[in-house]
Amino acid sequence: MDNEYSDGKLLLIDKPYRMTSFGVVNRIRGRIRAKYGIKKIKVGHAGTLDPLATGLLIVLTGKKTKEIPSFTGLDKTYEATFKLGATTPCYDREMEEENHKDVPNFTPDALEDIARQFTGDIAQYPPVFSAIKVDGKKLYEGARKGEKQEVKSRQVTVHSFDITKVELPYVHARIRCSKGTYIRSLANDFGVAAGCGAYLYDLRRTAIGQYTLDQAPEAYPDVWENQ
């Protein structure tokens, strides 16, 4: 049975906390199949969000999945919170804190100076706990086994990195960046530059190119309900 989803539809989803991007796609696919009696339908997303992140996820269905590459290359905008004074192996709060240090009484201007070091074209090392493949194996698979892995830096662009609020040890920022930028790595690098360590405490994606989170409806009742 053909319908608007098999013909091709773009959905703007506010991804919930703790759900994977694949989980969002899987839920939508399952509901389309159940509601419309479709045995097979393509559903994909344009840009992964980590489970601990929330916010805008573009989901494409049916014939529109062919357009996924044109969306994945768009710039992204995030509201991020870094926690200074500690690090974690995965660069976010999925794992326990380590390497605790005292946090200097940074002024907003001092933190802005640090942020400027990571604005523009930068070389960034992805987290070892990531899905990037090296020699056909995802980095996190080796990291979980404690294997030493060579992680190569990648060129990314941070168009803007603005400190929006300071509540030490928490620092809030608005970041607009290119495809492939890891905000977790940015948090870790920020902590190195600050001299006290840092990790990504909270992340919400607010825009992908011209698509913004406030454009996402409360729900697509037939295939998705924000929970």
State whether residue 164 is helix, strand or coil: strand
31 and 15 housed in the same domain: yes
- Chain segment 150-198, per-residue pLDDT in tens: 677 889 999 999 999 999 999 999 999 999 999 999 999 999 999 999 9
198 and 112 housed in the same domain: yes
20 and 47 housed in the same domain: yes
Q: Find the Cα–Cα–Cα–Cα dihedral 129, 133, 134, 139, rounded to 10°.
A: 20
Domain containing residue 106: 76-208
Q: Which residue has the higher pLDDT, 113 or 127?
A: 113
15 and 104 housed in the same domain: no
Q: Is the pTM of this model over 0.85?
A: yes
What average pLDDT does the structure give for the chain? 89
Per DSSP, the residues of 67-119 read GHHHHHTS-EEEEEEEEES-B-TTSBTTS--BS--PPP---HHHHHHHHHTTS
How many CA atoms lie less than 13 Å away from 154 in the CB half-sphere? 16
86 and 194 housed in the same domain: yes
52 and 106 housed in the same domain: no
129 and 195 housed in the same domain: yes
203 and 102 housed in the same domain: yes
- Given the residues 2, 7, 50, 214, select the one marked as catalytic: 50
Q: How confident is the model at residue 143 (pLDDT cuts 50, 70, 90)?
A: very low
For range 63-78, the mean pLDDT:
95
| pLDDT reported for residue 226 | 62
Q: How confident is the model at residue 130 (pLDDT cuts 50, 70, 90)?
A: low
| pLDDT reported for residue 135 | 55
The CATH number of the domain where 51 resides is what? 3.30.2350.10
36 and 126 housed in the same domain: no
| Closest to 14 measured CA to CA, from 178, 165, 216 | 216
2 catalytically annotated: no
88 and 200 housed in the same domain: yes
81 and 129 housed in the same domain: yes
Give how many domains the chain has, as a whole number: 2
63 and 125 housed in the same domain: no
Instruction: Inform me whether the pLDDT recorded for 142 exceeds 90.
Output: no
